[in-house]
Structure 1
Amino acid sequence: MIVDLSAIEANYRKCQALAPRSACGAVVKADAYGLGATRIAPFLASLGCTHFFVADVEEGVALRDVLPSSAKIYMLHGALPGMELAAEQHNLLPILNSREQLEAWLRHCRVRNRALPAGIHVDTGLSRLGFPIDELHTIAENRNGLSELPVVLFMSQLACAEWRNEICLQQLNRFRRLAHLFPNAILSLSNSAGLFAGREFHFDLIRTGGGIFGFSTSDDPDFKPMQVVHLQTQIIQCREVEHGEAIGYLRSYTVKKRMRVATAAIGYADGFPRTLGNRGHVFIYGRRAPIVGFVSMDLVTIDVTDLPESLTPPGTVVDLICPEQTVADMASAAKMLSDELTTAMGRRCRRLYVSSERDDVRYR
């Protein structure tokens, strides 16, 4: 997997330009969507990013070791039971999602005799994480511990910002009506898709992940993200397969005429989608070549009959994600989300970071 840092920088600047009155925070959970959080987050910090969002304490600790001490690292899952001390020790900010999390964090503050900062997440319509609106009102009006808590971030999550429909506007209005409860907090409602919903959705802080990493988040002609991810592998072996023979497990592809088949070193253990067996394609020297047979654990078989034999010896580079086939293209063919695809690929693929402007090439 090749990760283009210059493209990340360009996309980050584009996101900033879409919300010029707001800070642009980076969502780098799930190892920056499989692209490598400990490499990408410091790069974004060098561009001026100061707000980072992860899922939990483990992800936060990994980032704290590579980010400036001034960087704000928010844990979207909050501090799970027993992890409060680790969050404090590593200067991580839990986003509190429920009364139980609030009470646990306040107990920890009392034990430590410190007023430790945190964020508050309210559910305005996604029905996933966050305080129910009525419960948050009750807690705030009764001051049940909130007077002891420095609330540094107040956030919610849009359910369908891409559509900017009635539900989206309803969430906006609910969030606005609650914002006065936390007058000193940074306000954050929009993710990447929310960038295009309108400036009224932007508030103080945008939380963008897909926008930075080049995943299409809008049909807006003014926002064309640069492609960040390229994926390559190599041919291990080529062979002739005769008419009537079959390829792969369960003999899923029957050869209809003599075929030259290349076997390449990638499979579902690398996050390459099994659903692309017998229906996906790759590119070799810019020429399209179909996948034949099932995708196996770490191998894929490709019909290279129409390519000159001189172009397909062992070691030949096979392009899977490239200008001819973007992350979005492959994800659509596999019936996946773009970030679902890269998150799966990031677990095993070796990553190479390149930056044309900075003349920077590094392996993970």
Structure 2
Amino acid sequence: MKNNSILKIISVKTSLKHIGNGLYRGKCPFCGAIQLYVFEKENCYHCFNCGKNGDQARFMNENKIHYKDAVGKKNHVIHTKPRDLKTFYELNYEAAKFFFERLFSKKENVCLDYLINKRGLTTETICNFRMGYADGNFTSLKEHMLGLGYTIEQLLQSSLVTVSKNDEIIDFFNNRAIFPFIDINGNIIGFGGRKLDGDNNFKYLNTKNTPCYTKNNFLFSLNYAVKNISKGETPILCEGNLDVISMHQAGFRTAVASCGTALTTKQALLLKRYSDEIIICYDNDDAGIAATEKAIDILESVGFTVYVISIRDAKDPDEFIKKFGAKQFYQLIRNDLKNSIFYRIEQLSQKYDLTDLDAQSYFIKDVTELSLRKNYDPEKAIKETFNFI
């Protein structure tokens, strides 16, 4: 090893094993997982568990290593590379352009067929959302981006490539429909990928946290929805990217989603900049109901007035619109929208046989406790509850 090589510096904190051409692996000193990869030629490291990455100077700084401990007594100067967000925006733009061109390639029609014939999206919608296709070749994007002059370090930091089980550097997205993540300023900051076939394991795959993308502080399609929300229309919070895209296509242009993660306080505060009211429209299953309960708490904690749509006869908004049309979904919003407290009361009512007097008394007790907890008049809540049950 050279005196100031990244291998010698990282070896101060962890043992490294040579596993390939200039590729080393070891236990991550940040999280303890054996998923720290060191790329000697690129002078960088990346942990695929906790996401820590950078060059030798960043490693020394974050681990409080003095250069004498790492490289000896000679005064070696190690320069860190600044993280220029503009470079990452440009890199993601080029990746999105590559995915988009692959989608409309005459040789590659499996993804376009999936989006149009299975998901019911129009070409106009696909283009508006800048959707694309990551093929199944595992290295197509990597080779394309290297050909444009980007480095493996930049591709790793952008979560566009990863290390396979066979310790090979491959594309992060393979055989998936691609949804670019676009921030409020129009920058492409990451991607989401939807499997085209097979089982539901890892059905959705999203960019890991990068210098320009943090999943807890981003809402899919807010860049499109903010125009209508700013005009006074109420944002509609969904679970999935395809739900959002389907709703926008149907004319509900305030739909947003939290990109495969439970709603966070940061995401709620991001929406709060533009509206004081919000509608939750999650999937009609146990997971969707549980997620709705959690989202209500978070949204109310930042000051939202929360309403809920309960999807019936369909698993999610996308399926409902396909089965019954946009007009029926509009009627659902108009006639079946519930304030969060009455949504929760409705959920409570399903626990009891309300034809039984004893069950009714337990139900009233639960409603009273819920009302007091939410600073709502219990007597009014009980009266209004029995009006709609």
With the shorter chain as reference, the TM-score category is: under 0.3
Q: Which structure has greater helix proportion?
A: 2
Q: Which structure has greater strand proportion?
A: 1
Q: What TM-score do you get using the length of structure 1 for normalisation?
A: 0.26
Higher Cα Rg, which structure: 2
Q: What TM-score do you get using the length of structure 2 for normalisation?
A: 0.25
